[in-house]
A and B are shown apart, each in its own frame.
Chain A
Amino acid sequence: MNYSIRRARLSDIPFLAKTVMEAEKSATDKFSFSTLFNKSEAEALELIAAMFDEEVDGCELSVSSFLVIEFEGKPVAAFSGWIEQFEGESNSGLLKSNLIGYTFGRESLSFLMTKAHLVKDIQIEREANTLQIEYLFVAPEHRGKSLAHQLISKHIEEAIKQFPSIKKVQVQVFKNNLAAQKVYENCGFSIVKSAKSNDTEILDYLPSDEKYLMEKELN
């Protein structure tokens, strides 16, 4: 098949924004950038594209973090990956916060703060000096062709080449997303931690009330 893998570029931004949306929804209709910020899906998608336009490196919302697979010249799958706080670099959570705060504006943030307790319950800290992967999406018509596996392998290969001291790769996944968990398990990941909310309101805003941290050792 004519699939090719490459680094994302600015012209991929619409596809990357869709990737973020589909990954965040985790096979539900709950899109956190819409529900938690009181924005329509269309507005949230535009704001995600605007965040990519800022070209901030070192977090999941960086164009430079994404690998894409294209088919007949069009992106059909994408996955973000970056080294967390490598040798004292900035915490990706704060970089992402700066991006969101800068882009979404005060009103949306005020709304978010009324729901912050829900997010905090299932927040899992990212570990410094690890390869973090986030936001996997494969277009439905291209599933079942091991594209996710290829993206993960390529991220690991590039991370080890560039940062040989990296010891593990981690991914966070909602409990309801069994398909993604299966992909990660097949790639050698296992669940090492979970975070759960006991507040049922969370299901009005997020795909699940529980998140898993899955990990794979790199040798």
Chain B
Amino acid sequence: MNRAEILEKIGTILNSVLGHSNFELNEELTAKDADGWDSLTHMIIITEIESAFGVKFKLKDLNKLQNMGNLIDLVSGKLSEK
């Protein structure tokens, strides 16, 4: 799965959890840029991503995330371990 495909799949999850797509889906996207992406929805977004890709993130890695690009790196790394 390439980066664009991972981004698209995460985008679908964001639309579903946040209930809208009023944000620019790109590698620079941060939680601050998407309405409703707060500490509560963040929990469910991460667990939904883990479930959709069949991976489990390490807490240390989650805490380093700064933007969507980092999240794609994380998913991509986990998928390559499979």
List residues of A whose CB falls within 8 A of some B CB: 54, 56, 90-91, 93-102, 106, 109-110, 112-113, 116, 119-120, 123
Contacts and interface: CB of A to CB of B under 8 A. Distances in A.
B43 A101 contact: yes
Interface of B: 31, 38-44, 46-47, 51, 57, 59, 62-63
Contacts of A90: 63
Contact of A116 (B31, B40, B51, B62): B40
A106 B63 contact: no
**Interface class of chain B by DSSP:** helix
A-B CB proximity, top 7 nearest: A93-B39, A101-B43, A98-B62, A97-B42, A97-B39, A97-B43, A102-B59
Contacts of A100: 43
B34 to A, nearest CB: 13
A96 B39 contact: yes
Given A56-B63, A94-B31, A98-B63, A109 B47 contact: yes
Nearest to A56: B63
A106 B44 CA distance: 8
